[in-house]
Amino acid sequence: MDTERSFTLLILCSPSGAGKTTLAHAVQKLEPKLDFSVSHTTRAPRSGEVDGRDYYFNSKTDMLARIERGEFAEWAWVHGNLYGTSHQEIRRCRAQGASGVIFDIDVQGARQLRALYPSEALSVFVLPPSAAILRARLEGRGSEDEASLKRRLGVAAAELGHYQSFDYVLVNDQVDEAAATLHALVVAGRHQQSRMRMRAEALLDELRTLQQDD
Ligand code: ADP
Ligand code: 5GP
């Protein structure tokens, strides 16, 4: 199948702590040719995070200048910081022959990417099994101080309200099970009629030529 046509932009959204990063890594194990989009952010690195691998960590001045120059396919203010995906990052994944690219972004970014890539985007909203588990996962990650934890839980309800604009909704209970379902959605997405049209039309042309030759 033509790689250009079968390229998937897998957009994962959820309230912070529901498990997007975990699921992204798990689905990459199932399909290593799915690349991961590294975002730019003005947020400070967490311990263990590496510049260029987890995020491109930028100053606010630098990030605003990049926005001004039109470098981002999408960008948004999230939890008081700027986050964005560069056009260059998406080009990089295509150029490297990836089967698709995974985005761990917020609902504002998802809306922008869907508008930019209506036929290639596949958007999945990830739900935690319960509110208590969401809180426990955020606490367990140990990445937030009390104020940040409260802020993230505070916006969770508003974020959840956007699930209707997504193609699919996935409950992340057992990681392996959720990752397998997510991968099945990616595979199914490649067979959507709109994405198979060129292939079907090419076959029709071949058949017509065959009939003319007979
Ligand atoms: P997000 O990227 O959505 O903010 P993470 O992937 O960082 O969320 O997950 C938040 C925390 O929950 C992490 O400590 C992660 O290990 C844990 N976690 C994620 N998914 C599961 C799951 N299915 N079961 C148990 N713990 C999980
Ligand atoms: P965190 O600070 O926990 O890594 O991410 C906080 C939120 O920012 C998450 O909802 C995450 O999905 C979102 N985010 C990360 N990168 C981007 C991005 O490039 N664009 C947008 N719009 N949101 C992002």
Quote the tokens at residue 212: 């003319």
Write the pLDDT tens digit of every residue in 84-109. Answer: 999 999 999 999 999 999 999 999 99
Distance 16 CA to ligand 1 centre (A): 9
Closest Cα to atom 15, ligand 2: which residue? 105
Domain chopping of the chain, boundaries = 3-37+99-213
Distance 191 CA to ligand 1 centre (A): 30
The pLDDT > 90 percentage for the chain reads 80
Which CATH architecture group holds 3-37+99-213? 3-Layer(aba) Sandwich (3.40)
User: Any idea what the Cα angle at residue 185 is, between residues 118 and 204, rounded to 5°?
Assistant: 65
Q: What is the residue whose two structure tokens read 């922008």?
A: 112
Q: What spacing in Å lies between the alpha carbon of 141 and ligand 1's midpoint?
A: 7
Which residue ranges of the chain lie beneath pLDDT 70? 1-5
Q: What is the pLDDT, as a whole number, of residue 1?
A: 44
pLDDT of residue 3: 39
Structure tokens at 111: 């809306």
Residue bearing the CA closest to ligand 1, atom 9: 19
- In whole angstroms, give the CA distance from residue 93 to residue 2: 15
Q: Is ligand 1 within 6 A of the CB of residue 172?
A: yes
pTM here? 0.92
The DSSP code sequence of 3-34 is HHHH-EEEEEE-STTSSHHHHHHHHHHH-TTE
